[in-house]
Amino acid sequence: MGLGTVAITGAAGTIGSVLRAALRDESERLILLDRIPIRDTTANEEARVVDLRDPVAVEEALSGADALLHLGGLPDEAPLSDLLEANVLGTHHVLEAARRLGIRRVVLAGSNRVTGFHPVSGMTGVEDPVRPDGLYGVSKVAVEALGRLYADKFGLSVVCLRIGSFEEAPTERRHLATWLSHRDAVGFVRAALTAPSATRFATVYAVSANSRRFWELPDPSTLGYTPLDDAETYASRIPDGELPLDQDGPQAGPYADPEFTLRHIRH
């Protein structure tokens, strides 16, 4: 099915740039939103500069969209005040604009880091308790909660993708479990944008079909996409790639270390 007019926040970012290129031929129009100007637009793309902290500007920028892919925000560990402003408040503004404008589908960029303290030895699903590995993970828990609130309270149709390690190819041992290939990222997003209109709220792990993965793939009845790539193909190129991860360690790996967060706590 055609995607209609799709708005992408964070369109100038690493993930946004890949998805924009993949979706432009399937969309009637792309509305590209970012804090910085995007100048290399094609015939069916329109770039709009917007600060997600400004609710009035966000609503104006999203005008005309049928669906929304929300990628904007801080992408990694940072002081909590910054994460709350960029990720949580920004997402609230996006969802509120979607409600007011009647946007039919919102796809939120969540993160695997909401469950980073679950052990490597288990297979974690979306029904398992959240165990964020840092302040960034906490902000993404709040993003999911806002999506659920707007689905339950206001009837918005929301799909939250817990994105894995988005890389062109795996570069470290943890990626052999957590990799999300570019091809599979496009597949998950396309499926999320086109999921049945009756879908009120869904959360899924967006991860490639890695033999060593520790996250459950989505049930096809929830999201109709089966990933195609397996990081194992690259294992021989990665230092110590033949060795398993510590089965008692956290899925987040080094992101779970205290020092990773302590340097962002202001005294």
The residues carrying an active-site annotation are 136
Token pair, residue 173, equals: 């041992």
Rounded to whole angstroms, the Cα distance separating 50 from 111 reads 23
Rounded to whole angstroms, the Cα distance separating 233 from 239 reads 14
Give the number of other CB atoms < 10 A from CB of residue 83: 25
Token pair, residue 88, equals: 């949580």
* One-letter-per-residue 3-state SS of the chain: CCCCEEEEECCCCHHHHHHHHHHHHHCCEEEEEECCCCCCCCCCEEEEECCCCCHHHHHHHCCCCCEEEECCCCCCCCCHHHHHHHHHHHHHHHHHHHHHHCCCEEEEEEEHHHHCCCECCCCECCCCCCCCCCHHHHHHHHHHHHHHHHHHHHCCCEEEEEECEECCCCCCCCHHHHEECHHHHHHHHHHHHHCCCCCCEEEEEECCCCCCCCECCCCCCCCCCCCCCCHHHHHHHCCCCCCCCCCCCECCHHHHCHHHHHCCCCC
